[in-house]
Amino acid sequence: MENVRIKKVTSVHGMPVYTDEGVYYGDVEESMLQGNKVVAWKVKATKASQLSRLLGGARGVMVPHQMVKNVGDIMIISKSAIPQHDESMAVEEEEY
């Protein structure tokens, strides 16, 4: 039987996000809830992150929860969550 650990959603805010290939992606800024389930995470593009290099002027992206592989001391997401310069996923400054 698998051991399931529960974390408070607020404990994940500010957590560094890495891809499953070990690339720093950004930091968790917010969780998006639907009922009592997390459906997505707003990941902030920080100066040293791959996300800031990809997005330019945008401040972050929404990562669907199903792209999250693991949450512990860091959040690990699937490499396929990285936008392929798809501006529709970017969260612009005015909307943020």
pLDDT reported for residue 24: 93
pLDDT reported for residue 12: 92
Any domain includes 54: yes
Any domain includes 40: yes
pTM greater than 0.85: no
Any domain includes 1: no
pLDDT at 88 over 90: no
Any domain includes 71: yes
Q: Higher pLDDT residue, 32 or 52?
A: 32
pLDDT at 28 over 60: yes
How many Cα atoms sit within 13 Å of 89 on the Cβ side? 19
pLDDT reported for residue 2: 64
Residue 4 to residue 20: CA distance in whole angstroms: 20
Residue 16 maps to which CATH number?
2.30.30.240
Any domain includes 89: no
Any domain includes 77: yes
**Model confidence pLDDT, tens digit, residues 46-81:** 888 888 887 776 788 899 999 999 999 999 999 887
User: Can you give 3-40 as a three-state secondary structure string?
Assistant: CCCCCCHHHCCCCEEEECCCCEEEEEEEEEEECCEEEE
Any domain includes 20: yes
Any domain includes 39: yes
Domain range holding 39? 9-81
